[in-house]
Chain A
Amino acid sequence: MLKIEGLTATVDGKPILKGIDLEIPSGEVHAVMGPNGSGKSTLAYVLAGREGYEVTGGSATWDGHDLLSMEPEERAAAGLFLAFQYPVELPGVGNATFLRTALNAIRRARGEPELDAMQFLKLARQRMRELSMPEDMLKRSVNVGFSGGEKKRNEILQLALLRPKFAVLDETDSGLDIDALRIVADGVNAMRGPDFAALVITHYQRLLDYIVPDRVHVLMNGRIVRSGGPELAKELESEGYAAIQARAA
């Protein structure tokens, strides 16, 4: 279970998160929706431990572990995964090398044996087929020369290989056409089960047609102003954030 209580954070001294309370039990997928600048990506980065995002108050725990006191790699080892809104390009780092290094780092942390190159390739190829990814994406440098959709699929490939217990998907739908969106959603849905929880951050309701959330939260100006079932996303789509804000005020 992810438990966030009274979380406040600043970026460059400016308050962005102003007291977030959120609980996501294992087995559930929650969506956080909100307009630009509401603090959605800040929430994702704070959970993953990115530098420059300063936590000024509150707590965030995963299964009782204090996430905020852990290094980013320790959070990953504990089962956290962030699918980036803008996946980072790593020229000169082969995608296969990257994926295998990450997988083995996680396996090491879990006390599982590392995979050799052959075992890894077999597993990676299988996952890639499921995501309709061309095999040559293994040979290229990480995300270099990838289209927007390929980058997002590469994030989902990492999700499928690393098999985290808790995933944060930061606007994974942005820049995707409908086919790619379906592939990405299938990848996330395949992970769903009693031992997996996810926080899906999105601006639009569209993604939630494919990844149907258990709960929807509306984030505005650094606070969660409303929570509800999947129907809340539909309401947002038809009425807009302004109406929600007016009602919440």
Chain B
Amino acid sequence: MNVVMHQVGAPGFLHRFEGLRERLPGGRLPWLAALRAQAAEAFRAQGFPTRRVEAWKYTDLAPVAEAGFDEPLTPMDDAMDLPPAQAGARAVFVDGRFRADLSSLDGLPFEVSSVARHLDALEGRLGALARPGEEPMAALNTMLFEDGLLLDLPEGVEGGVLELLSLATASERPSAFHPRHLIRLAKGAKLTLIETATGPEGARYLHNPVFEVEVAEGAWLTHGRLQQEAPRAFQLSTIYASVAAGGTYDNFTLNAGGRLVRNEIHVTLTGSGAACHMNGAQLLAGDQHADTTTALDHAAPSCTSRQTYKTVLMGRSRGVFQGKILVRQAAQKTDGYQMNQALLLSPEAEMDSKPQLEIYADDVKCSHGATVGELDAEQVFYLRSRGIPETQARAMLVQAFLHEAVEGVTDEALRRALDAAVEGWWARQEETLAA
């Protein structure tokens, strides 16, 4: 009889790394082996952070730390059931691995490829922004990543819209995958990347992506993320973005799926006149937990940052927003704004907010605000007095609440995808709202 011992949590991942290290992609590249070994050391030292760690005070990773995860066993035989495409071009990843056979990338004015296939050319680039020593999830990712999206937009190229679809498959035991996506826009390049992450209803998995994003002078990346993971799934994502002078990183994240989700974004504005927009909506119900954590580093003068996050909570769900704005001494004429608002639709739901400003320059304009509230009874009554049924009245007011975060999405393709995702969420919640 075969008895397989499954180790859980951090030791399980470290054990897997020890067993696999030679066979992981790029296992024979000394620089990468060293990078992975360092990350493993960092992960061994930190493990999954507990709530005693300040950055994780409001998000308890125990459900992840106490679970055992296997390597994804992706079925290759049958044709995958893909959700409808959001845009013309689409790069498809299944369980964190690039699938050229499922992707449609013809006619793009730039090259889209797989990190796994080009590792020998990525020394100095892979790992340039990620900080495994600081963020344990980035350490886990660096230790075990197998693949990711590799995007290079040459100077001045208008890239249009590209969809990144991340699909998980269902398996008997929970699986874990850690894609590492590398995105670089050269001077003046422009791209809209719409990322959809999802998985089948019953699937249990950990999706732990890390993005390293470089936006050069005058380039513009719109990065839309539609997180619609399977209801029992975990997604812990970390984005590192660096924006040069006159460049823009424009992120919109919808957190609508998953059981436990963290969306952590670190952006550094490195050149004068760089801009960062981070907006998002979290739509939570049942026992979902979603955490948006942003860290904005104003390292150069005359940069602009705008953040608007809205969270709608039903059931026993829990939302977290942590937003730090650091304005360094050199970053004079910084213009920063951060707003996060939550709407509690259930007495059992909970929202934790922690805005944080750290300002070392004297000539800056920086403001932030946070509100947590319920639907206004007077507004509901006004709508009902006009014949609008209560469920519909409440839905209208929730949509109005989200409006401010969503109206900033100017890209048409992203807006369409976002509206469809929000509507889909509504359709699922309507019964609960009516109850």
Could you list which residues of chain A lie within 8 angstroms of chain B, going by C-beta atoms? 48-51, 71-73, 75-77, 81-82, 84, 87-88, 90-93, 97-98, 101-102, 105-106, 109, 141, 158, 162
How far, in Å, is B403 (CB) from chain A's closest CB?
A: 4
Complex interface residues of chain B between 356 and 415 (CB less than 8 A to chain A): 377-379, 381-390, 392-393, 396-397, 399-404
Contact A90 B389 (CB under 8 A): no
Expressed in whole angstroms, the Cα–Cα distance for A101 and B393 within the complex equals: 10
**Complex Cα–Cα for A71 and B390 (A):** 9
Residues B387 and A93 in contact, CB atoms below 8 Å apart: no
* A residues near B377, Cβ cutoff 8 Å: 51
A105 and B382 contact, CB distance less than 8 A: no
Interface residues of B (CB under 8 A from A): 377-379, 381-390, 392-393, 396-397, 399-404
**Interface residue from A51, A92, A106 paired with B399 (Cβ < 8 Å):** A92
Q: Is the CB of B387 within 8 A of A105?
A: yes
Q: How far is the CA of A141 from the CA of B397 in the complex (A)?
A: 12
Docked-complex contact A92 and B386, CB < 8 angstroms = no
User: Taking the nearest CB of chain A, how far is it from the CB of B325, in angstroms?
Assistant: 25
Tell me, in angstroms, the Cα distance from A76 to B404 when the chains sit together: 30
Bound-complex Cα distance A116 to B389 (A): 19
Chain B residues near A141: list those with CB within 8 A: 400
**A72 & B404 in contact (Cβ 8 Å cutoff):** no
B169 CB to closest chain A CB (Å) equals 39
CB of B384 within 8 A of CB of A71, answer yes
Our pick among B379, B387, B390 for the contact of A102 (Cβ within 8 Å) is: B387
> How far, in angstroms, from A158 to B383 measured CA to CA in the complex?
12
- Choose one: B385, B393, B404; the contact of A82 (CB below 8 Å): B385
14 extra interface residue pairs, beta carbon distance < 8 Å, beyond A72-B381, A92-B402, A101-B396: A50-B385, A71-B384, A72-B385, A73-B385, A73-B386, A87-B382, A90-B383, A91-B400, A91-B403, A93-B400, A101-B388, A105-B388, A141-B400, A158-B386
**Looking across the interface, which residue of chain B has its beta carbon closest to that of A92?**
B400
User: Which B residues are CB-close (under 8 A) to A77?
Assistant: 387
Evaluate contact between B384 and A73: CB separation under 8 angstroms.
yes
Q: Which residues of A contact B384 (CB under 8 A)?
A: 49, 71-73, 76
Given A73-B389, A109-B387, A162-B387, A92:B404 Cβ within 8 A: yes
CB distance from B385 to the nearest CB of A (A): 5
CB proximity of B161 to chain A, nearest CB, Å: 27
> Which residues of the other chain, A, contact B390 by a CB distance below 8 angstroms?
71, 73
Query: Who on chain A is nearest to B398 by CB?
Result: A92
- A73-B381 in contact (CB<8A): no
Residues in B with CB closer than 8 Å to A82 are 385
Note all chain B residues with C-beta closer than 8 A to A105: 386-389, 392
Looking at B384, B389, B390, which has the most chain A CB atoms within 10 Å of its CB?
B384
Give Cα A77–Cα B385 distance, bound, in whole angstroms.
9
Complex CA–CA separation, A91 to B381 (angstroms): 15
A91 to B402: give the CA distance in the assembly, Å.
11
Supply 24 A–B pairs (Cβ within 8 Å), ascending by A: A49-B384, A49-B385, A50-B381, A51-B381, A72-B381, A72-B385, A73-B384, A73-B385, A73-B386, A73-B390, A76-B384, A76-B385, A90-B379, A90-B397, A92-B401, A92-B402, A93-B396, A93-B399, A97-B396, A98-B386, A98-B396, A105-B387, A109-B387, A158-B386
